[in-house]
Each structure stands twice: as C-alpha cells, then as structure tokens.
Amino acid sequence: MKKARSRTLALAVMAIAAGLVLSRAFVRTPRVERPRPPSPAGPEQLRPAVVDADFSPPRAGEAVTVLDRAFGRAVEMEGEGAAVGDFNGDGSPDLAVGVRASEAHGAEINDPLANWTVQDCASSADPHLAKTPPSSPAVGNREPLLAVVHGFGRRGWRDPEARQAYLVKGGPKGPWRRRSRDHYPGLDGPEARALGDVLAGPSPRGAIAHWTGARYVCRSAAAARLRATARR
C-alpha cells in the first residue's frame, strides 16, 4: 500500500509539473513597443548653411578659367556675359554662361563618362516630367548651350571643389541674366516649384530657365509670371 501511495503521489507531482510547463508555453510574452530610430538626415539637412557667400560678378578671365576647369576643351565661351546667382537654391553662388560646343572636341562633350551632365531645356507642361532627370541628348558641333556650374560653400563657383556642371541645350541664346524667382509666381505650383534664382534670356518676353531639383527646364516668361492655381 505504501508503495502504491508513493507511486500515486509521484505521478500527481509529475502531472502538476507538466501542467505548469504547458501553461507557460501558451502564455504569450507581452509585446514591447520600441521607438523607431530617427530618419537619416537628407543632404540638404547635413549641408552647413552658407554664410557671407560671394555673389560678386566674375572678374576678367575668371569665367573662362572656371569653364576650362569644369568642361575642359569641350566648350567655348560665347560673348562676354555671365550670370551669377543661387540657381539651385542651396545658398552657394553659381555661374551661368552662354557657350558653344567645340567643333574640334565634339566627342568629348557627348562622352557618357564626362564629368558634366547634358540636359534638354525643352519646355514641359508636365510637372512630373520636369522633376525627372532625362537621358542625355546629343550635342552638335558649334551648338549654342547654357553652361551652369553649381557652387560649393561661400566661394561658390570660384571654389576648386565646385565641379557639379551642366550643359543645357534647347533654350534661347544668351546673354543670360539672373532674376529673382519672386518675379515668376507661376513657377510656384503645387508640384512644379522652382528652386533658387531664375535665368532669363535677353528678351523679357522670351524663355526663362530654372532648376527643379533634378534638371533645368525652359518656360515662357509670360506664363511664368502668371500665378499658379492650386489643384482641387
């Protein structure tokens, strides 16, 4: 009898222990909410603010020197006019100059591995297209172009580190001049907001060029002066 009772007691203890193990297995651990890590800062947030930027016009020979640094022998300066402004909205001075593609170095200007970007300034009413970097169009010999060198820091386009350069085709011939974006409220649409100053051609009724964040586009100056209406 004693052995039977001991065996029964042992079985009861084992059953209770097994029940405790099973009950713990079915109890879910409460979920702990962990805070999300902060989003990484964008390039604009990481870039320090430009203080005391030098927006003075180029002195004799400066524009030619910068064009040679940015484009080598691929372009030749057209005329004497050069515009200085903040054309991409980062606070640093940029340089815009009318140039022509060099006849002797046409292969260099269309080289896909070149250090500059070739863009077509064709007017587009589609704001989504204006924000999309297009494929590089071919440039012909002696074709007139707008050369833009985006600046770096307070020295802007004069800084040797300023090597972000664009050749824009399809716009009117220069000389170009800087105009405040405030003169063109039509550029401040809900999806096609312009960044930085605007480049205006020689005619006040002609085309203007502006930076969209991805490319330069040309638009009618008259249309750009009309205030944009928000979409419903």
Query: Does residue 34 belong to any structural domain of this protein?
Result: no
Query: Does residue 221 belong to any structural domain of this protein?
Result: yes
**Residue 222: predicted pLDDT:** 87
Q: Which residue has the higher pLDDT, 199 or 230?
A: 199
CA 206 from chain centre, in angstroms, equals: 26
**Residue 126: predicted pLDDT:** 52
Query: Does residue 27 belong to any structural domain of this protein?
Result: no
CB 181 within 8 A of CB 86: no
Does the pLDDT value for residue 26 go beyond 70?
no
- What is the bridge-based pairing of β-strands 177-179 and 195-200? antiparallel
Query: Does residue 218 belong to any structural domain of this protein?
Result: yes
Average pLDDT, the chain: 79
- pTM, whole model, 2 decimals? 0.74
Query: Does residue 136 belong to any structural domain of this protein?
Result: yes
Query: Does residue 133 belong to any structural domain of this protein?
Result: yes
**Residues belonging to the chain:** 232
Domain count, the chain: 1
- In terms of residue numbers, what domain contains 130? 57-225
Does the pLDDT value for residue 96 go beyond 70?
yes
Query: Does residue 52 belong to any structural domain of this protein?
Result: no
Query: Does residue 103 belong to any structural domain of this protein?
Result: yes
**Residue 109: predicted pLDDT:** 93
Which residues, at least 6 apart from 230, have a Cβ–Cβ distance to it below 8 Å? Answer: 189, 190
